[in-house]
Amino acid sequence: MKPTREKNRRNANAAKKLPADFEIRLSKVRELARRKGVQVSYDSAFGTRLDSSVEGLIAVLRELGTELKPDLSNVDRAMKADEVSSRRFFAEPVSVFWNGGPGRIALNTEGLPKTDRVTLNLKLEDGGVREFSSLVSDLSDSCLVVHEKLPFGYHQGVLQAGKAKRKLLVISSPEKAYQPSGADDRVLGVFAPLYGIHSKASWGIGDLTDLRKLMDWSYSQGCRFVGTLPMLAIFNDKPIVEPSPYAPLSRLFWNELYIDPRAADEWNASPRARKVSESAAFRKKLAGLQRQKQVDYQAVARLKRPVFEALAETFFEKGGDRSKAYREFLKVYPMVEDYAEFRATGEKRNASWRKWPERMRNGTLRKGDFHEKDKRTHVYTQWLAHNQLSSLCTDSKKQGLGIYIDFPLSAHADGYDVWRERESFAQTVSAGCPPDPNHVHGQDWGILALNPKVARETGYRYVRRCLDGHMRYAGLLRLDHVMAFFRLYWVPHGLGAKNGVYVRYQMEELFAILILESHRNQCLLIGEDLGTVPQEIRDAMTRHGVLRMWVQQRRLGTGSADEPLPPPPADCICSLNTHDMPPFAAFWKGLDIIDKQKLGYFGKKEL
């Protein structure tokens, strides 16, 4: 990524030497950006209208496939190429039918003879087949109207008019997110990071057994759900250590550190695993971890790893991989062996995939690239995670609404998802947010943004897998930075957050996926709508039954003199603070101001 950063800086310097007709060229760049879903300005959190920087627009357009020179001298040629490209297809790749339809598929009929027939052959998700057709001359406002109701699901279609063909995905979805029948108007829940709820029995970090204990206690006190931070796989040892739950190496697989080995069926059948955990060396390391105030992820990973290896050995030796339950697990996680090979290869080479040889870097691994023992261990830990999460999910829904799971915005650039789904991610920008009162310099989160064009062309394959994988176990799913389903602030590498640019996504299509998966998994949806929130996203959340977040720490002082803390609205989840805010007591005393200054959120003059 370093060459991209340097190129962005060179372009920024070159843009300072402006030609006489630069403003004319810039207006064309802005028009080109609008066509591609890039915002050329936005309303800031300070109440002002800000224009996107020239260097930011150039960098973002390059990521979207349009290379512009720093002086914009080739903008006319770029606009012409974009016009030609937009005429390649006569329909968009995705259509949404709310409540099953009737639905309309917009067509570009330019160049199609009026006597041609437009035909849609639709293969339903359940295997059924439907066909719809119309003469071009009979189309309604250039739309093929499907009057028939479609079953809810993802349906694969082929649209044909003369010699022109277009594959498309039809998403048939309820309009409102799942809501449990007979739900109370108000419910109480408890939130705690899983790593922080460790007990005397856990091994240096909270685990799923600890979460079960918290759940049982909370329900006994009248709570209806227990929430926690993302529990996804992270880099906890080789090749790097990156413990942030919001920069997972995958949004498809789970963090093995949260698994309780003693809850595995193989525990009693594995003398070796028990011997490891009962050894003096193990007990000494464990005692040291339990004395620490903070979690040492690398040390916990190295403590648990030999136990997992012993359990995995027992599992495969005794034919656990031939069981019906394990075969069903492989259907749920068809990519688990691919993921395990990636993890095992990274451990063997002790390097990011970006530094692997070309064949491996481009997604092809072979035997010898990794140790089979490491691969089996990673497959086995995902099997354990699936079993323990499934059990927790079932029991939590019997007693209450279920587990509240957090769905992070994206994945680590060096992780499995980016390696395997390379084209789905924008490689030269990071997700972030513009300056606001809490972060006056803006934020660069260091995680890659999804490429909206590729996401659509692949039928949102990656997004659907991620959401289904989370809602499978959740009773409530928190969508981190829900604004990203409408637009996301892209920060070009090397330019800083102030030169970021908003890029639009197809909100209706993404919400259709959210709502459909919500019903399939009987999961409530919560959108984290804090920060700079466009009205469009709030309207969509209300329209589709997605709960808002209402954080009292952010709302204090926004009410009247008589009522400084306004009452929370209906259809929201209300809390005193969130995981990335100071505890309310610290906020009340102003202790967080010093910490934020030290972290560079603002200087003394900006206070």
Dump pLDDT digits (tens) for 228-265: 999 999 999 988 989 999 999 999 999 999 999 999 99
Please say which residue of 52, 86, 120 terminates a domain. Answer: 86
CA 72 to chain centre: 34
In a domain, 42, yes or no: yes
Q: Give the span between the Cα atoms of 359 and 337, in whole angstroms.
A: 18
pLDDT, residue 46, reads 83
Q: Give the span between the Cα atoms of 257 and 245, in whole angstroms.
A: 12
Into how many domains does the chain fold? Answer: 4
In a domain, 146, yes or no: yes
In a domain, 156, yes or no: yes
In a domain, 169, yes or no: yes
Same domain assignment for residues 247 and 301: yes
Enumerate residues 6+ apart whose C-beta is below 8 A from 298: 236, 237, 241
Same domain assignment for residues 245 and 133: no
Same domain assignment for residues 67 and 123: no
pLDDT, residue 239, reads 87
Enumerate residues 6+ apart whose C-beta is below 8 A from 324: none
In a domain, 333, yes or no: yes
Same domain assignment for residues 74 and 145: no
In a domain, 495, yes or no: no
Same domain assignment for residues 82 and 105: no
Of 99, 486, 416, the C-alpha closest to 250 is: 416
Same domain assignment for residues 200 and 263: yes
Stated as kind and residue range, the H or E segment containing 589 is helix 584-589
Cα distances (angstroms) measured from residue 571 to each of 222, 396, 509, 550, 568: 20, 22, 23, 10, 9
Of 373, 372, 356, 415, the C-alpha closest to 235 is: 415
- Specify the residue for token string 């490891």: 276
Q: Give the span between the Cα atoms of 153 and 139, in whole angstroms.
A: 25
Q: What is the CATH number of the domain that holds 357?
A: 3.20.20.80
- Specify the residue for token string 């006569």: 90
How does pLDDT run across 575-598, given as a tens digit for each residue?
988 888 888 888 888 888 888 788
Angle at 503 between CA 497 and CA 508, to 5 degrees: 140
pLDDT, residue 116, reads 87
How does pLDDT run across 389-425, given as a tens digit for each residue?
999 999 999 999 999 999 999 999 999 999 999 999 9
Extract the residue ranges of the chain whose pLDDT is less than 50: none
Looking at the chain, the whole-number percentage of residues with pLDDT higher than 70 is: 95
Q: Give the span between the Cα atoms of 561 and 460, in whole angstroms.
A: 48
pLDDT, residue 441, reads 85
Dihedral sign from CA coordinates of 24, 25, 30, 35: positive
Please say which residue of 57, 86, 115 terminates a domain. Answer: 86
Please, is 520 exposed, middle or buried when counting C-beta atoms within 10 Å of its C-beta (0-12, 13-18, 19+)?
A: middle
How does pLDDT run across 449-497, given as a tens digit for each residue?
999 999 999 999 999 999 999 999 999 999 999 999 999 999 999 999 9
pLDDT, residue 6, reads 63
Same domain assignment for residues 251 and 360: yes
Same domain assignment for residues 150 and 242: no
Please say which residue of 376, 400, 424 terminates a domain. Answer: 400
Q: Give the span between the Cα atoms of 459 and 322, in whole angstroms.
A: 33
Same domain assignment for residues 209 and 353: yes
Q: Give the span between the Cα atoms of 499 and 365, in whole angstroms.
A: 38
Same domain assignment for residues 269 and 337: yes
pLDDT, residue 16, reads 57
Range(s) of the domain holding residue 244 = 190-223+225-400
In a domain, 472, yes or no: no
Same domain assignment for residues 127 and 247: no
pLDDT, residue 587, reads 84
Q: Give the span between the Cα atoms of 222 and 213, in whole angstroms.
A: 15
- Write out the DSSP string of 284-308: HHHHHHHH-SS--HHHHHHHHHHHH
Q: Tell whether omega for the bond before 567 is within 30 degrees of 0, i.e. cis.
A: no
H helices of 221-371, where?
A: 271-278, 280-291, 297-317, 324-332, 336-349, 358-361
Residue 366 has, within 13 A of its CA and on its CB side, a CA count of 3
Same domain assignment for residues 121 and 253: no
In a domain, 411, yes or no: no
